[in-house]
Amino acid sequence: MMSAQNPFVSRRLRLAGILVILGLLVQALTLLWNHPLAFMAFLGLGGLLLFVGIVVYLFTLISSPKA
Amino acid sequence: MPIWLILALLIGTVAAIAIVIVAPGVTVSRAGKALAFLALFVFPLAVSFLGAAEHLDRSKQTKFCLSCHVMEPYGRSLYINDKTYVPAAHFQNNRIPRDHACYTCHTNYTIFGTVHDKLRGLKHAYKYYISKPANPIKLYEPFNNRECLHCHQGARSFEEGSTHSAFMDDIKANKMSCTTSGCHDQIHNAAHPDQLKYWSSQP
């Protein structure tokens, strides 16, 4: 069971959340620009931040201490 | 999907993530765990998928292709005031959708054609911004009749044309190109754009 009171879990959740939000914001900005570079930024920067954030979250789920 | 709807979903996702960031303690409860899973996994992937679909759809637009400087003469050639120029005749007479002109003729009408095109698009972006684009630009391979036949096959004017009928098997088998010299061989004239007359102002 994941315990959010655990500082380790809280820190990881915050980190994952921040990374995912940054990724989503980058993707949102690229949607306002119709250009090949926007597509590259969507995939390369936004997608990467999102992917890392989700991986951090999933890693937190499987590595969090038992309650 | 409308862009405002994607952005609205994105804002909702950010708000849900903000709850987890500000109060990670909520994830102790079952409902909180579900919220975290939705906010940090399901919603971001869904929004990202919708955003990617929007970008892919935009990449089919004529103005997207012409946003690269090297493509400008090809975009200009769509306005050549001469009906023997195949792209110009198709574009000006609405035989292809004008806002998807490049994609309509240059996509690969096979099961993975769009994916194939997008991978080539990434290569184009690399060549344009990091390496150096070929000058003049060339097709990767000779133009395949399949792309013409996607629309023309079955059309009365095509099927009943005497020249077409005489070579129909070879045309359909791509053994004789539609762009063979003497047939539809006037394509984009990007090499000498200033020597031509144009139908209207530039795109």
Q: What ipTM was estimated for this complex?
A: 0.88
Q: How many other C-beta atoms can be found within 10 angstroms of the C-beta atom of residue A25?
A: 14
**pLDDT for residue B201 is more than 80:** no
Taking the C-alpha atoms of residue B86 and residue B200, their distance in angstroms, rounded to an integer, is 17
Give the pLDDT confidence score for residue B133 in this predicted structure.
84
Cross-chain Cβ contact B51/A27 below 8 Å: yes
With bands split at pLDDT 50, 70 and 90, how would you rate the model's confidence at A19? very high
What is the dihedral sign for C-alpha B119, B122, B124, B130? negative
With bands split at pLDDT 50, 70 and 90, how would you rate the model's confidence at A52? very high
Give the pLDDT confidence score for residue A5 in this predicted structure.
62
- A residues 24-53 closer than 8 Å to B (CB): 24-25, 27-28, 30-31, 34-40, 42-43, 46-47, 50, 53
- Tens-place pLDDT, residues B52-86: 999 989 999 999 999 988 898 899 999 999 889 99
Give the pLDDT confidence score for residue A1 in this predicted structure.
45
